[in-house]
Each structure stands twice: as C-alpha cells, then as structure tokens.
Structure 1
Amino acid sequence: MEYLRALRARWRWVLGGVALGLAVAVALILLVKPQYQARTQLFVTTPAAEGTELLSASSFSQQRVKSYAQLATTPKVLDPVVRELGLPVDATELAERVSVAAPLDTVLVDITVLDTEPARAAAIADALGRSFVAVVDQLERTGDAPSPVRISTVRDAAVPTEPVRPVPVLYLGVGLLLGLLLGGATAAARHRLDTVVRTEAQVAALVPAPLLGEIPFDKVAAAEPVLVRRHQGARAEAVRSLRTNLQFVGAVSEVDSVVITSSVPGEGKSTTAVNLALACADTGQSVCVVDADLRRSRIAHYLGLVDIVGLTTVLLGRIGLDDALQRWGGGNLHVLTAGEAPPNPSELLATEAMADVLAALRERFDLVIIDTPPLVPVTDGALLAAKTAGALVVVGAGRVRAEDLRRCLRALDNSGARALGAVFNLVPHRGRTASTLYYATDSRPARPLASVGSSPADDGARGLPEDHQVRGE
C-alpha cells in the first residue's frame, strides 16, 4: 500500500519514466538499420534398399543431420559463398548472420540468413545451400565411391519484402515496460528519501500535541493575506475552526496568551497569527496581536498600520505601552507592531521589560497572540513561548522537513515551553470537498470576518506584495 501511495503521489515521475522509455524505443526504431531474413531448406536422404535397410537409412540420415547443422556455419562452407558473391565480410562475420536449425526427428536442414539488403539475403541463402551440398558431398565420399548421402534443396530462398528487425511493437512494448519500472523505482526511491512534511498523518506523527487546524492553500492569498474582504471561503472557515479548537484548549487550561511560530520561514505563521486574531475578535473577545518577529516583521504591513513605534520602542523605554498600541478597524483588535529593528533581538526579548509587557497585555486583553520568528534559525520564539500559555506551531505543507520540525519542537521543549497544538497550513486541495462545494454555491454578499467597519486599514489589506501566504511569514 505504501508503494501504491508513493506512485499516486509522484505519478509525474512514473509518467516521465514511461515517456523516456518510449522515446528511447522510438529512437532505436529510427536508428537501427532494417534487417531482412531469407530462408532456404535442404532435404537429406540416404539411398537404401527395401525393408529393414530403409529404416536403417532413415536413422542414419537423422543422425547425420545433427552434424550438418553445425557444419553449415564453418569457414569451409562460408568461404566459397564470400568469394562467389564478393561480400565485404569474412567467414567469421558472415557466420554471425547465419543460423541453422535441424527440426527434431526430421531430415530437414533450415538455413536462415539476415542482411540489410533483401536481395542479398536471398542470394546468400541460396549460395550457402549450394556450398553446403558441395562440402557434404566432398566429406562423405570415400575414394571414388559416391557419397552415401544425398542433399536436395526443397525450398529456394525468396527475396523478403518486410524487415524482421526492428519490430516496432516489440521495441515500444519493452520501452513501455522498462519506463514503468524506471519511473516506479524512481518514485519509490524519492518517497523513501523525501522527508518533507506533506500530509496530516505526518504532522500527527511528529507533533506530540493535537492538530488544531488545517488551513487550505488559497491562490488569492498572495494578494489578500488578511481575511477581511473575503470571508466566505474554505480558508476563512478553517481559521474559524482553529479559533474554536483553541477555545476548547483554553477551557481545559487557561490560555490568555499564545505564541504563533514555525520551524522555518515561509510556512505562513504571520498570516495565521493575524487571521486568528481577527477571528477571535469577531466573537467579542478583546484581542491584542503582538509582532515579536523583530528580524522580519510583517504584521503592520499586512494590516496597513504605522510601524515607526512598537514593541522595541516600548522595551527601550522610549514610549509607554498605551501609546504604542494601535486599535485596528474600530473593533476589539489592538496591535503592537514590531517597531524599529534592533541589533540584538534575542537579548531584547529575554529582558524583564518584555516579561512586564506581556503581563500588562494579559491583564488588559482576553487573548494576546504573539507572532515570533521561526524556531530553527533563532530561539526568540522559544524564549517567548516559555513566558506564555504555550505555542501554536504552524506547519507549512510541503515547506518543512521532518528533521526541522523535530528541531523546532526540541527547542520548545528545551526552553520549558508548552506546545498547545499544530496548525497545518497551505494544505493543497485534494478534490472538491463538501466545504468547498458549499462556499462555491453560496451567493450571499461577502462581509468582513471581524465585525469591523470600513477603515483605511481595510484598504491597506489589499494590493500587498505577492506571495504573503506562500512565502510570507
């Protein structure tokens, strides 16, 4: 079953192998020079009397035929043929084109000749038959006595009209079979060597925490990473499902602050953080999203906010927390942008000032969502996760290797942080599911995901640089 899954997942490799096999077969058909086959047949008899002597003569002929079959390809028989026809080959090379067969329990000798010229193939077969008869007659004579064996030609060689090589059907069949084997073996090898996380089952096996959400890939997410204008779709519903599952986690153990991180860049953690914050604010919760990715901040750009002051400004004591917070869209969502990029992000986030900022935000808001850098390149996210209720690990389908995901989880474990769950992001569509069919037929006008009015920030969510969900943070 695993092999069949590998073939289905990597069918392009199988198709490529088949195409290569057929291409080689076609090339051989075009490059191999056609060969024609001509055949002559000889009949061996022994003159004998009646009765028992006739039976003995028949047995004698059959025994002789076995030796004659090997005699036909010797230089003694072939050299006269080469001289007679003026062939550009010697006896050894001609022997490679000649095959001799003696059917069992018969006194027949079949001589077959292959040549690139049909007329020459027939001429060689006839000349070979004549030379064979002469040589046998010479070898079987004893003194002046006549040969006890008589050989007659019962079928002269006819000039062939169709080549026997190459055989297009055979070549194409062998090419197809070898192509299938090559493509299948390549697909199986890549399946075993490929460590990229692509399926929900792989995420469940690697992450020792529940899978809280699966967010499908959306081709328009590059232009609209924030779910404000487009809310009636599979991606928006997946974010709502993530919000609900996170609330269930919070019902078991209080979740007032959560870190959103990933293993490597490009898995979509920043868009996940923003859209989750909007979805939670839509339920009436007061939510603050903090851009703690001080190396590659994205939150302000996604929401169309000013990033002159922010988290770094507060941590350095240049501005108060109240002055740095920005209310977005007139609703329940507040944003603490990253601010200016510092030279030492890890050291800044590890300070007591950062712990104080988090404590103040938890007192003020129902939920604090913190976007942090990926955990494999840097440890910022692990440091902050240890100061919060835990971390949501965003796993980009086809974007992270299993070993990098393990390193990410080890970083959380080593820092004493808790992995609340995983979010499987950029999941490719596998057919038209019930949810996609539902939203495809929904003709109601779209409304914002969050209950907010129109604002300049809304317009700022459009026309953003391309590929925010695909390669953005």
Structure 2
Amino acid sequence: MELQDYLTILRKRWVSIVVLTALAVAGAVAASLLATPMYRATTQVFVSVQGGSSTTELLQGSNFTRQQVTSYTNLATSPLVLGPVIDEMGLDERAESLAGRVTADSPLNTSLINLSVTHENPAIAAALADAIADEFTDVISELETPASGGDSAVKISVVRDAAAPTSPTSPNTKLNLALGLLVGLALGVGFAILREVLDTRVRGEADVAKVTSTSVIGTIGYDEDAPQHPLIVQSSPHSHRAEAFRRLRTNLQFLDIADRPQSIVVTSSLPGEGKSTTTINTAISLADAGSRVALIDADLRRPSVARYMGLEGGVGLTTVLIGKAAVEDVIQPWGNGYLHVLPSGQIPPNPSELLGSQAMANLLDKLTRTYDIVLVDTAPLLPVTDAAILSKLTGGAVLVVGANKLHRNQLAESVGALETVGARILGVVVNQQVRKQGDAYTYYDYASHTSTGEPVTPPAGRRGSRALRRSAKDVRPTRPASAASRQPISASQQRGEGIAGLWPGEPLSGSSQPGSGEQRTPR
C-alpha cells in the first residue's frame, strides 16, 4: 500500500484509533492511581586504598579500587550484607526479598558507589540505606583484611548519608501517560490496518477493481427508505437514486456500440443485493427515454417483479415456456406504454431446465426482434445456476453488487461462474453504496423542482425525505396509459387485438413521454 492508502485507512478508521488510544491512556491513569507510592533513599560511599606515599603507589591504588568497585557493587545486594541489616532492624522478610528493593551502581571511571533503597515509607527507606552502607563498610573491611593480620588495605568511607525523600519516585504519572498515549496510538493504527487488510467486503468501485477488470457502469446510493419505495424512478424522479438509474441507462445505451446487446441478464451473487429493483428501475428509465423495453421476471425461485410493479403474476414466463399461452397473451404493458412486463408465472419444480430449454431461446429471439432491449431478472449466481444458463442465451450479463453485503471472494466466484460458461459480463452495478460528504454528486443538489420550475426546499430529517418523495410523486408528469395498463387483459386483447404497440408499427395508446407534448410512436 502507498502512503495515500494509509491516510485513507486512518480517516476511515479514526474512531477505532481514538477509542483504543483513550482506553490506553485511561489504563495508564488507572495504573498510576492504583499503584502504591514508592520512595527511594540513596547513600554514597567512597572506596580508597590505604597506604602508599609515592605517586606511583597512589596511582596503582586508584586503579585497583576502580577494578574492585564492580565486585563491590555486586556484593552490596548479597545476603552477607543484607542479612545482618535485617536482623539489626528487625525486618520480617528474607534477604532475597530485600535485595529486590536495593540497587548499587558506580558512576563510570569513579571509585564511588551509590546504594539506593526503595520502600513505601520514606523514613524506613533512609534508615535502610544508612544501615546497608554501614554493614557494607564492615564486610569489605573484613574481606580485604590480610590473612597474616593487620589492617585492611581498602577503606570504605560514607561520603553522603541518606535523607528521607519528600516525593515518591513511582508511579511516574507523566511517563505513564506518555507511554499510554504512544501504546494506544500504536495499537489503534495497527488495529485499523489489520481490519482493513482482513476486511474483504466490497464497499465500492475500488474493491470491485481488485477482483475483476470489468467496468463499473453504475453506482446506486444507499437509501434507508428504499424498501418502502422500490420504484424510485417513478415515485421520486428527481432524487439522487433516480438520477443514478438514468446514468446507468445512459451507460447501457453506450455499451458495445458496434455490437450492442439487445437482451441483458441482470443478476447478483447473493440474495438481497437489489438486483430486482435495479432491473425494474433501469427498465422504467429506458422506457421513459423512448426505448421499447421488455422486462422478464426469470427469477423462478423467488419472483418479485410482479409484486413490486403491482401486476398479476399468476401467469407469465412459465406459462409460455410450457406452451399453455402465447407471449402476446400474458405480457402486460406498464407505465407509458413503452414498457411491457412478463411476470414469472407459477414457480416450477425444474427452473434450470426451463430456462435452458429451446423454448426459452425461442422466446428471447422473438422478443429481441420486437423490442429495442430485453431485460431479464434472474436468480443469484452463487446459490443456483439459472443466471449462468440465461447469460449464455442473451447478449450478456450485468452483475449487481450490494455494497457491504458481498465479499471479494464471492464476487470473484460469481465472475468465474459467468466466465466458465462463456457469458459476456457487460458491467458491474454497485448498489446501496453509502455516500459521504465530499462524494462527487453531494456537491450539487438538483434534487427537487416542481413542474413550474420553482425549487422545493427539502425538510430536514427522515420525515423531510419522505415528504419530498410524496411531493415529487404528486407533481410528476401524468402517464396516461399507466392506470389502464394495470387492468386485467380483456378477451379481445388476448386475441391480439388490443395490446397496442406490442408489435412493430403499431402505435402506443397514450404514449406521450414525460416532458413532451406530443404523441410518440415506437420505431
């Protein structure tokens, strides 16, 4: 990863970093408050060699003492010195325990030895330091006394008596806070990077690019009210999500201009990624632009197109495939007359066999000759093979990816399933992506204008968003054919006399386009 990637992770995971840092600092504060204050008293002794009158003898004695000082500092914490001190002061502890609170060190190139004692009571710490210094002096004198008798050649002199300290040496609150801050920041940054590395969810275009080179042809923003308003292009035509579907429509129209697909399968990897609503809204957008669109609900596992669009779904695709009805009898016009919907019909016991049959191929061939574009909503790729089978029969597949719902390995598996059967992957649509302040279209708000051209100020909050949808729904252009299109098909229509605009050259009744003042006839 580059520096920019790390900065992006820090901005993205800053809450985790702050929380861990705060916890570490709080732990340091708690440890400082709960720790017992300890006081340190220090005494200092000087080591010298007695005797010698010439300069050479004095120099030799000085070198000898420097060499011996290292051994003496180790001797200061031995039971030979501490045992008598414990007995003298009546301490209820062993020499090994007392040695853990005694330190002896010598400054470099000196004959001085510092003896320090740490204790909860400052007076006891000073008394112990002085007692250890006195006993240390006696032990060294005894050890350095010649075996033949006489005085010791080494003299230990106390040059500084211990004084009772006035402030504790531990805990060091400032040091603990600094360490807590550094440890917390390190843990927070490490945790953020680890989460980013281990996080395999697809959250946007960058994650899609890590899996496949297929272009992202559309990004649909997240809307918490989407389940209540699935047909956003109709219910709120001026919303950001509706505009996103129009951009998707434009990108679809420019796909492979030399060999533009007339039939497209829309699928996803897993259920709940929004493939059906994406297919429906895209179909409505294409029809609003004047294209003749056939929408087929080929999800024979959990069909939802008829329910979303308020149509009768008892007869439809399966009825046609088993030969009990002609497509002209069961396909239903919707909206402005340019969109016709073929519901799924009854759920069959063998969906894959039906969708891969010659009857399905013939149906797709017939519809592609009649309509400008045929959109096919199918079941998800990973649970079943329906979408892969249909993708081979059509001009290609559009893969809908639900942001924060799909992992990269699942997306790779879906892409592999389509590539295995030789299907064309026309593009990827990232659905339900959470938009943040600073994203491209948040800089502009063309959102709400009435039919008179006056801007509508959206009320704040969730209720305001819903009120804006109701307002947009009230002022949207009238679709003359929409009401009639949802009525049951009459007997005359079933005989092929009344589905206006179904076949080439037949005019669409009430097919005026939104925003235009003239009737329009399909190409």
More deviation in 221-230 or 365-374? 221-230
Which residue matches 1:355?
361
Map 1:289-328 → 2, pairs under 5 A: 289-328=295-334
Q: Among residues 427, 431, 434, which one is paired with 2:433 in the alignment? A: 427
Q: State the SS of the aligned residue for 2:255.
A: helix
Counterpart position of 1:37: 40
Return the alpha-carbon distance in structure 1 between the equivalents of residues 130 and 327 of structure 2. 107
Residue aligning to 2:221: 216
Q: Give the 3 Å change call, closer, same or farther, for CA 249–110 of structure 1 in structure 2.
A: same
The letter for the 2-side match of 1:86 is: G
Q: Deviations over 1:113-134 (max 9, x none)?
A: 1223333222211211221222
Cα offset, 1:20, TM superposition: 5.0
Partner amino acid for 2:242?
A
State the secondary structure of the residue aligned to 2:417: helix
Judged with a 3 Å threshold, the aligned counterparts in structure 2 of structure 1 residues 165 and 432 are, in CA distance, closer, same or farther, namely: same
What are the equivalent positions in structure 2 for 1:394-413 lying under 5 Å apart? 394-413=400-419
Residue 136 to residue 250, structure 1, CA distance change in 2 (3 Å): closer
Distance 2:60 2:90 in 1: 42
**TM-score of the superposition, structure 1-length normalised?**
0.86
Query: Aligned partners of 1:312, 1:114: CA distance in 2, in Å?
Result: 89
Contact 2:333 2:485 in 1 (8 A): no
Q: Normalising by structure 2, what TM-score?
A: 0.78
Which of 347, 353, 369 is residue 341 of structure 1 equivalent to? 347
Long gaps (5+) in structure 1:
460-473
Partner Cα separation in structure 2 for residue 119 and residue 452 of structure 1? 96
The reply to whether residue 263 of structure 1 matches residue 269 of structure 2 is: yes
Cα distance in 2, alignment partners of residues 61 and 41 from structure 1? 15
Give aligned pairs, total: 459
CA distance, structure 1, for counterparts of residue 476 and residue 386 of structure 2:
30
Alignment of 1:378-393 (within 5 A): 378-393=384-399
SS of aligned partner of 1:386: helix
Deviation at 1:248, TM superposition (A): 1.1
Inter-partner Cα distance in structure 1 for 2:390 and 2:375 = 11
Matches within 5 A, 1:37-186: 37-46=40-49, 52=55, 58-59=62-63, 61-142=65-146, 145-186=150-191
SS in 2 for 1:153: strand
SS in 2 for 1:69: helix
Q: CA deviation at 1:183?
A: 3.8
> Are the structure 2 counterparts of residues 64 and 382 from structure 1 closer, same or farther at C-alpha, using a change threshold of 3 Å?
closer
How far the C-alpha of 1:351 sits from its partner, in A, is 2.4
Cα deviation code 1:6-57 (max 9, x no counterpart): 5554445544543554454345435543322111122344555766366666
Give the number of the structure with larger relative contact order, counting CA–CA contacts within 8 Å between residues 6 or more apart.
Answer: 1
Q: Residue 388 and residue 179 in structure 1: after superposition, are their counterparts in 2 closer, same or farther (change >3 A)?
A: same
Which amino acid is the alignment partner of residue 222 of structure 1? Answer: P
1:321-361 CA-to-partner distances (Å, cap 9, x unmatched) read 23322222344222222222222211222223323332333
Does the CA-based 8 Å contact 1:278-1:450 persist in structure 2? no
* Between 32-41 and 176-185, the greater mean CA deviation after superposition: 176-185
Question: Aligned-pair distance for 1:395?
Answer: 2.0
Alpha-carbon displacement from aligned partner over 1:294-333 (angstroms, at most 9, x marks no partner): 1111212222323232222333344442332222234422
The structure-2 alpha-carbon separation of the partners of 1:450 and 1:116, relative to structure 1 and needing over 3 Å to count, comes to farther
Structure 2 unpaired stretches of 5+: 450-454, 457-471, 487-523
Identity of aligned residues (%): 46
Alpha-carbon distance in structure 2 between the residues aligned to 1:365 and 1:62: 103
User: Are residues 458 and 29 of structure 1, via their aligned partners in 2, closer, same or farther at CA, if it must alter by over 3 Å?
Assistant: farther
Going from structure 1 to structure 2, the CA distance change for 1:407 and 1:61 (only over 3 Å counts) comes to closer
Is 2:239–2:448's contact at 8 Å kept on the other side of the alignment?
Answer: no
Deviation of 1:177 (Å): 3.0
Q: Which residue of 1 aligns with 2:374?
A: 368
Instruction: Find out whether 1:207 has 2:199 as its counterpart.
Output: no
Counterpart-to-counterpart distance in 2, 1:248 and 1:359: 22
The structure-2 alpha-carbon separation of the partners of 1:153 and 1:275, relative to structure 1 and needing over 3 Å to count, comes to same
Q: Which moved more, 1:109-118 or 1:3-12?
A: 3-12
Q: Which letter does structure 2 place at the counterpart of 1:176?
A: L
How much does 1:111 deviate? 0.5
8 Å Cα contact 1:304-1:457 kept in structure 2? no
Q: Mark the CA change 1:413 to 1:451 in structure 2 (over 3 Å): closer, same or farther.
A: farther
Distance 1:155 1:458, change over 3 A: farther
CA-to-partner distance for each residue in 1:274-297, whole Å, 9 max, x for gaps?
110111011112222111111111
Aligned-residue CA RMSD (Å): 3.1
Q: State the AA in 1 paired with 2:408.
A: A
CA contact (8 A) 1:282 1:450 kept: no
Asked if the contact 1:305–1:457 (Cα under 8 Å) also holds between the matched residues in 2, the reply is: no
Look up the match of 2:260: 254
1:62, 1:243 → 2: CA distance? 90
Q: Structure 2 vs 1, CA of residues 453 and 145 (structure 1 numbering), >3 Å: closer, same or farther?
A: farther
Aligned 8 A contact 1:281 1:450 in 2: no
